[in-house]
Structure 1
Amino acid sequence: MFASGSIFKTTRHLYIRMGNFTSTSSGGLSSTASTQFVQDVIAHNCVVIFSKTTCPYCKMAKNVFNEIGATYKVIELDEHNDGRRLQEALAQITGARTVPRVFINGNCIGGGSDTKKLHQQGRLVPLIEQCSPCCLDSGTEGSGSGQSESNKL
């Protein structure tokens, strides 16, 4: 779909686990801290997918971004210590509890089917291109390391 030399050259996956981001006395994130964490991740990344590893719609969304070569951040809720609280925070923020919840440039675009539909309509790439330059990949070809990050948004 894209000509050689496109701005979408590399796919990088950043998987993060942040169970120790802000602890409550019970060892997990409070609902306020969960909401703040979700908002911070969304604010600091052009494309964010809140996902679960076994969800076919989550895989669909990731495949769309892989297909176009876009850089995105994934939060795997089923591997996160506070995944349930994060999912509750997402429900409060977006009005939907299902995954994936996909955000581009701070706005929720919906789930896997919504992401695929936007791509088929030719509207997904323009949304990504509106992100600040730090969010678009201009690196070398290849895939990301898939390493977990524990203290970075």
Structure 2
Amino acid sequence: MPEQTPREWVTELIKKHKVVVFSKSYCPYCTRAKMALNTLNLNDVHVEELDSHPQMDQVQDYLKELTGERSVPRVFVNGSFYGDSSKTVADVENGSFMKHFKNTEL
């Protein structure tokens, strides 16, 4: 089976998990978003550290196609782009992030 393209890989992750965070391990904005999401104790949060991905630039190019930006973090919820660090952290703190989940999905 051939390797997945960056586009296929990103698309599969977004479909497979309730929450996907495309991150970089050294990024302070990514750290804030991940810490905020960790406070929610959700069952299916998948974090991808792009700085260890061999095709990081191509992945970020595709994320720009999907979201309008190459910057990280890029947070996806239920298969759709949710936002960046500022939106994610603010919505976790004000409680509106959880409106995207049914009680059975927690």
TM-score, with structure 1 as normaliser: 0.63
Partner of 2:86 in structure 1? 113
Q: Given the alignment of the two structures, is residue 122 of structure 1 paired with residue 95 of structure 2, yes or no?
A: yes
Partner of 1:79 in structure 2? 52
After superposition, give the CA deviation of every residue in 1:79-105 in whole Å (9 maximum; x if it has no partner).
Answer: 111111111110111111110000010
Q: Given the alignment of the two structures, is residue 48 of structure 1 paired with residue 1 of structure 2, yes or no?
A: no
Percentage of pairs with the same residue: 34
What is the root-mean-square deviation of aligned Cα atoms in Å? 1.8
TM-score, with structure 2 as normaliser: 0.88
Q: Which has the higher contact order (CA 8 A, sep 6+)?
A: 1
- Flag the structure with larger Rg: 1
Return 5+ residue gaps in structure 1 as ranges. 1-20, 23-28, 138-153
Partner of 1:36 in structure 2? 8
Partner of 2:75 in structure 1? 102
Q: Equivalents in 2 of 1:130, 1:80: separation in Å? A: 32
SS of 1:42 mapped into structure 2 = helix
Deviation, 1:48, is 0.2
Question: Using a 3 Å threshold, how does the CA distance of structure 1 residues 66 and 34 change in structure 2: closer, same or farther?
Answer: same
The number of residue pairs the alignment matches comes to 104
SS of 1:81 mapped into structure 2 = coil
Partner of 1:58 in structure 2? 30
* Deviation >3 Å, runs of 4+: none
Preserved CA contact (<8 Å) 2:37 2:92: no
SS of 1:73 mapped into structure 2 = strand
